[in-house]
Every structure is written in structure tokens, then in C-alpha cells.
Structure 1
Amino acid sequence: MKKCLRCNKQATHHITEIKNGKTVALHLCDQCVGEYLNTVDVGGIPDDLEDPLSIGPIGSIASDSPVESTSEACPKCGMTYKLFRSQGRLGCPHDYQHFHDELIPLLESIHHGETQHVGKIPPKVSEESRKQYELIRLKNELKLAIEEEAYELAAELRDQIQSLNEESSSVEQD
């Protein structure tokens, strides 16, 4: 879901403005769309406003609104942030670091404030892959338990890991 450009609430109105041959999409909540429409002539962005995405609260221009990135192209693949936004795909793994500052707000707006995927395992994953995922998760929890000196929990996790390993090795022997 898109967030409102003015207040970061959920955007419920999507306005496309065309100014000087450029198309600009504005995403606004119920309250801000009314304020926006009252500050401009219907069907037009104010002539003195160069960047419609920077429209902030009434009578001001917000500096923290999403604006087009001014970062340079990735030195590895040549991808620009503008090109990424138009294609929806990054060019190489280095782009995640190169465009980090631009990607974090984008991910937060898409994933309701989260930047890390916490979704489900795909339904058609093999049982072996599920066990591997569980094994990795348990090992990470074990490491954390040891760091926090939670030795009883660590012992339980160790036993679960051993049990999973034994299941895997007995399946391989069959």
C-alpha cells in the first residue's frame, strides 16, 4: 500500500498530474486530498512548484517527502535509481547497498513499516527444504540463547537440532 505524500497515512486517492509533459503520480489520504484540491486549480499543479512530489502541508513544501533520487549510477552495473523505479528491478546485487537510502523508505511503504521479509514458506517447497529452514532457524536461536546465557533454552534447542539431524540422516539411509 502506498502512503500519503503529506502525512504518511494510507493513501486512498491516487492523482496523476501532467506538468510540462511530465507525468507525476500523487498518493494522498482522505484528509490531504481535500487540502490538496483546495490549494490548486482543479486539473493543475501550481505553476511555481517545480516538483509536485515535494508538496507538503498547506502553504509549505516538505523536505522529507519522497523525491526523485539524485544518487549516481551503480558503478558495477550502471543502474540508476530512476531506471529501477521505472523497471521495478535492480541490476545487480550491489544495487541494494548503492541505493540503500532510497530503498529503505520504499520497502517501509510497501511492507507497512517493515524492511525484512517475514512471510510464509512457499507451499510447494519439499519437506527436505522445510527441515533445512527449520534447522537454520533453530541454530540461529541457539546462538542467540548462548549469547544471552540462557543455557536451559540452549539445551532444548540443541536437542531439537540433534533430533532434526537424526531424522534427516535416517531418511537419507532409507
Structure 2
Amino acid sequence: MKKCQSCAKPAVFHVTEIEDDVPTEIHFCEEHFHAYMKAEETPAADLPDDLAADTLKAVQAMQEISEAAAVKRGAGKRCPHCGISFHEFREKGRFGCPGDYEAFREQLVPLVENIHDATRHVGKVPAGAAGGESSRQFRLIRLRKDLAKAVAAEEYEKAASLRDEIGALGGVESE
């Protein structure tokens, strides 16, 4: 859930302003949205002091957001591999190549953060998918690869340690 651009409350109103054919999204809680709308309709001098202050904050936040949005858009930045722009990605909802994740990292981090409230996945293993067993199997495969590398490099102490770890996971290795 997106947050209000003026405070930490959840945003319930989403405004898209278009300036020079470039859309900018602004998100408000109910209180700041009404202040924003009042600012659009009423000169600040006609507003009560507390509402005028909230409106001023909302308008300043909107200006900061517009400036930040211009930077985030990357001024026509394109992926060096496939040539797609971030604007094209937003329109289509799909990237053109894996290089886009790195090319548009600056724009993606806030987007992912808005969608998931985090930038790091800490999800769960699907129920009934034997996730614990799958994870153990992946760990065993990695340990066996490391063991083979250690033996090839004649790092026998490391190999013995890896062998013991494999044994502890139930993937018995011969000595």
C-alpha cells in the first residue's frame, strides 16, 4: 500500500498530474488530499491558518515529488542492451531484457518499495511444496560442489569440514 506523500498515513487518493506530456503520480491520505484540493481551488489567503499550513505542505510535497520524478524518469534513459526506456516499461509492464533491472535500478527500488513495503524478499515457501526438503537439497548440492572444489585444490581440512556438514544434513558422504 502506498503512503501519503505528506505524512506516513496510507494513501487513499492517487492523483496523476501531466506536465509536458509526462505523468507524475502523487499519493495523499484523506486529510492531505482535501488540503491539496483546497489549494487548487482557493487562494491560500482565504484558508484557515491550520488548513493553509497543511495545504502549503501538500503543495511543497507535490513540487518536491515533481522534481524527484523528473530525476527518476532518467530524462529518456534507455537500456544499453535492448534500448527500452523506463517509460516504455511502465506502459507495457514488461522489460525487454535482464539488463533492464540494472539499467533502471534507481527507478525500480522506489517502485518495488511502494508495492511491497520492502526491497528485499522475505517470503515463505508455498504450503505443501516440501520447501524445507527442497532447501536442504539445494544446500547439499552446493556443499557437494564446494567439497569437490576443496578436494581438487587439495584443501583437505576444508574438505573434511564440508564432508561432516554434508553428513549432518543426511547426505552421507563416503570417507
Aligned to 1:101: 106
The gaps in structure 2 that reach 5 residues or longer are 43-54, 144-161
Aligned to 2:57: 57
Aligned to 1:11: 11
Select the residue among 81, 106, 116 that pairs with 2:120: 116
How many matched pairs?
136
Distance 1:95 1:111, change over 3 A: same
**Aligned-residue CA RMSD (Å):** 3.8
SS at match of 2:14: strand
Distance 1:166 1:19, change over 3 A: closer
Measure, in 2, the Cα distance between the counterparts of 1:25 and 1:15.
6
Which residue type is aligned with residue 131 of structure 1? R
Deviation at 1:28, TM superposition (A): 1.1
* Structure ranking higher in helix proportion: 2
Deviation at 1:123, TM superposition (A): 3.5
Percent of aligned pairs with the same amino acid: 35
SS at match of 1:10: coil
Deviations 1:44-90 (A, max 9, x none): xxxxxxxxxxx982453215654460241101111111111122222
Deviation at 1:21, TM superposition (A): 8.2
Distance 1:25 1:103, change over 3 A: closer
Distance 1:23 1:77, change over 3 A: closer
The gaps in structure 1 that reach 5 residues or longer are 43-54, 140-156, 170-174
Pairing 1:20-169 to 2, within 5 Å after superposition: 25-41=25-41, 57-60=57-60, 61-62=63-64, 65-67=68-70, 69=73, 70-112=75-117, 114-123=118-127, 125=129, 129-133=134-138, 135=139, 161-166=166-171
Distance 1:10 1:158, change over 3 A: farther
Measure, in 1, the Cα distance between the counterparts of 2:35 and 2:120.
34
Question: Which structure's CA Rg is the greater one?
Answer: 2
Distance 1:23 1:108, change over 3 A: closer
Deviation at 1:20, TM superposition (A): 8.7
Give TM-score, length-normalised by structure 1. 0.58
Preserved contact between residue 36 and residue 59 of structure 2 (Cα < 8 Å): no
Preserved contact between residue 5 and residue 66 of structure 1 (Cα < 8 Å): no
Distance 1:8 1:21, change over 3 A: same
Distance 1:102 1:20, change over 3 A: closer
